[in-house]
Amino acid sequence: MKLSVELAAFARRVGHTFSQPDYLVCALTHSSLSSPTRPDNQRLEFLGDRVLGLVMAEALLAADKTASEGQLAPRFNALVRRETCADVAREIGIGDVLKLGRSEMMSGGRRKEALLADAMEAVIAAVYQDAGFDAARAMILRLWGARIGAVEPDARDAKTALQEWAQARGLQPPRYVEVAREGPDHAPTFTIAARLDNGAEERATAGAKRQAEQAAARALLERMEMGDD
């Protein structure tokens, strides 16, 4: 099988020449377009998640030889979570080459964070199966390199940090409420309010609910921590 011009250009962005292009085609095929003769990327996504995790664990241990498991865990989570995988996917243009069914395409599937993140992990697995662990590691370190060096020493996601802040003060866990949705179905924006039972609230808007929740939690946590000073 020979890659199309579009997929060959994508493979160059990934930085890997596929000896078995079927792996890449499968990695980019969403379940909405799968068939008995066209497998989707779910099995590859499962494998790629594990390959990414091992590479990130190795990289973090190498980057900080004195950090404890408790210090490494939030950094690891920050590097492998869905939002990060989706960000990397956007940087290499996975959305442009995803193979989607018509309904998924019409509903904005090329921009959906979950689809992008899953496809990114599937591409990692495609490289792993095509050329082995060393090739997959090299690709991951190239694409994630700046993030590994820049990950915060305390890299807990904002929702986790806000929940821990609330629990430490005897408050109920924060609630996240969708207060507005705007834009067309294929490219909506969501406004989410993060609320504490002490009456404090902050809002944020983003193109995905998870992003808006994280941004609202971050804003509320910063406000609350300033009040503690």
**Active-site residues: which are they?**
49, 121
**Beta strands, E only, the chain:** 175-182, 189-195, 201-206
206, β-bridge pairs: 190
Q: How far apart are CA 141 and CA 109, in angstroms?
A: 27
For the record, the structure tokens of 71 come out as 């210090």
Select from 60, 59, 51 the least CA-distant residue to 136.
51
For the record, the structure tokens of 138 come out as 């090299």
For the record, the structure tokens of 150 come out as 């820049």
3-state secondary structure of 97: helix
CB 84 within 8 A of CB 77: no
Select from 64, 42, 29, 62 the least CA-distant residue to 137.
62
Q: What is the DSSP letter of 153?
A: S
For the record, the structure tokens of 118 come out as 């899953």
Select from 49, 44, 47 the least CA-distant residue to 23.
44
